[in-house]
Amino acid sequence: MASIADEPGKASAARERYWGSAANQRNIRRRHWADRRLQLYGIAAIGIAIVLLGVLVVSLVATGHTAFVQTEIRFEVTVAESDIDVADPFKGNYRKVVRDGFARLVDRELSRPEEKALFEMLSAGAQYILRDHVVDDPDLIGRTFEVALPLADPMDQFHKGEIPRDIPQEQRRVSDLQIQFYDQFLAEGRIAAPFNWGLFFNADSRFPELAGLAGALVGSFYALLICFLISFPVGIAAAIYLEEFAPKNRWSDLIEININNLAAVPSVVFGLLGLAVFIQFFGLPRSAPLVGGMVLSLMTLPTIIIATRAALKAVPPSIRQAALGIGASKHQVVMHHVLPLAMPGILTGTIIGLAQALGETAPLLLIGMNAFITSVPGGITEAATALPTQIFIWADSPERGFVARTSAAILVLIGFLVLMNAIAVFLRQRFERRW
């Protein structure tokens, strides 16, 4: 190109020739192709990300949807007074009651192994369900009535088509004999798969067909309640101080740097803090939603403080000046005018912070909220699990039925997260003012 610029006349002529030349056309095509290529890379990158998101959602729904129904079988049981103590229906040989009733479904004499195979079709927890029935309604004693009891996990999986029929018997957990029984019961219309309310109202259990999320939901609720009660007032107070009152000096800088750093500390470190300080030093109970909520509140605090400061900053100075102008004190300006105007933004930030806390797992594992607990916690100091730690426990369980339960629990967790974020978005769109 240097030679082109030597003389003005010659240069323009050369340029003309160059623009039209095949070499230049090639060059332009190459440059446009490079531009197109960059664009394609971008589309590919976004495509990969969205496809991965899709695969994640599809694989969870595909494995999880079966856990929302539970296979049950209806048959008649006779609760004889010889088996059950009328005065104390809690004690009694319910195992025998259930088995007698179930065995009557097959109208032939069974050998011992056949009997065993038959009884293994029924959930091991069936007798306790019947017991709770009878305890609730003692009039049932001495009567024959129909009950619907859950089938054991392998039969449940079989009914849902997760275990194929046409593979050799040794390779599946359902024997040919059990399939024969199953076909008979199905033909008699005894087997049905209604909506699995137990998933929401049962506590955890060793048997997948009985395990539910009630304990985890209540535990998560308590932990989030504690987290909210601590982090919401403290976060707002800290943000108001830093945004409206703090003098610009070393101290306030130090606090700001601290808050920003806390937001980036790995969550597992907060678990270590909770274990060493709350449990080891202060002697608070292990596995309790109280400690879980306290740890989560420390993690949520930076989110709430940062969101609150942004909301306070968005209130225009004219409002403050007007209030100051008619004689309000600085506190009155903030409490009567700035804070109410900033509230929608603060609430949005708080809900988003709580949604993050709801999905947080690692710190809860360290303070022991992954215990195996078969009852719903009655208070904030009782041992409990939380939704994400329950997912972790089930994901670790070897039984096939827990795979579906885990995916279902994840779908429930994501459902709550979507709900909370939807509320946050609604609040933002409905109430946030733009000046």
Partner 1 sequence: MFGTVLLAIAALSLIGFWMARSRMRVGALAAGRTAAGVAALHSLPAYHGAYVALWTGLPSAFLVLFWLFLQGSVIDSLLLASLPEAFLTDKSDAERSLVLSEIKSVADGLLFGTPAPEIVEAAERYNTWRSLASWAMFAVGAAMALGGLALASRRLSPEFRARLRVERILSGLMIGCSVLAIVTTAGIVLSLLFEAAQFFDKVPASEFFFGLNWEPQIAIRADQVAGQGAFGAVPVFTGTILVAAIAMLVATPIGIFAAIYLAEYCPSRLRAVIKPMLEILAGIPTVVYGFFAVLTVAPALRQFGGWVGVDVAPNSALAAGAVMGIMIIPFISSLSDDALAAVPRALRDGSYGLGATKGETITKVLLPAALPGIVGGVLLAVSRAIGETMIVVMAAGLIAKLTANPLDSVTTVTVQIVTLLIGDTEFDNPKTLAAFALGLVLFVSTLLINIVALRIVRKYREKYD
Subset of 304-323 contacting partner 1 (CB under 8 A): 305
Residue reference for tokens 């107070």:
237
Check residue 60 for interaction with partner 1 (CB under 8 A): yes
Identify the residue among 250, 282, 325, 430 touching partner 1 (CB under 8 A): 282
Identify the residue among 158, 181, 232, 392 touching partner 1 (CB under 8 A): 392
Subset of 342-381 contacting partner 1 (CB under 8 A): 355, 358-362, 365-366, 370
Check residue 407 for interaction with partner 1 (CB under 8 A): yes
Subset of 198-257 contacting partner 1 (CB under 8 A): 233-235, 237-238, 240-242, 245-246, 254-255
Subset of 133-152 contacting partner 1 (CB under 8 A): none
CB of 336 to partner 1, least distance (A): 12
- List the Cα angle 49/53/59 in 5-degree steps: 140
The shares of helix, strand and coil residues in the chain, as percent rounded to the nearest 5, are: 65, 5, 30
Check residue 388 for interaction with partner 1 (CB under 8 A): yes
**Listed residue (358, 359, 354, 349) closest to 425, CA to CA:** 349
Identify the residue among 331, 336, 375, 415 touching partner 1 (CB under 8 A): 331
409-425: buried (b, 16+ CB within 10 Å) or exposed (e) per residue? bbbbbeebeeebeeebe
CA distance 70 to 182: 15
CA distance 277 to 271: 10
Stretch that binds partner 1, among 15-23, 177-185, 317-325, 328-336 (CB under 8 A): 328-336
Q: Give, as one character, the DSSP assignment of residue 115.
A: H
Residue 13 or 265 with smaller CB distance to partner 1: 265
CB of 172 to partner 1, least distance (A): 19
CB of 28 to partner 1, least distance (A): 9
Question: In terms of DSSP H, where are the helices of 265-400?
Answer: 267-273, 289-314, 317-325, 330-332, 339-359, 362-366, 387-396
Check residue 280 for interaction with partner 1 (CB under 8 A): yes
Stretch that binds partner 1, among 51-59, 110-118, 124-132, 192-200 (CB under 8 A): 51-59
Q: Give, as one character, the DSSP assignment of residue 5.
A: T
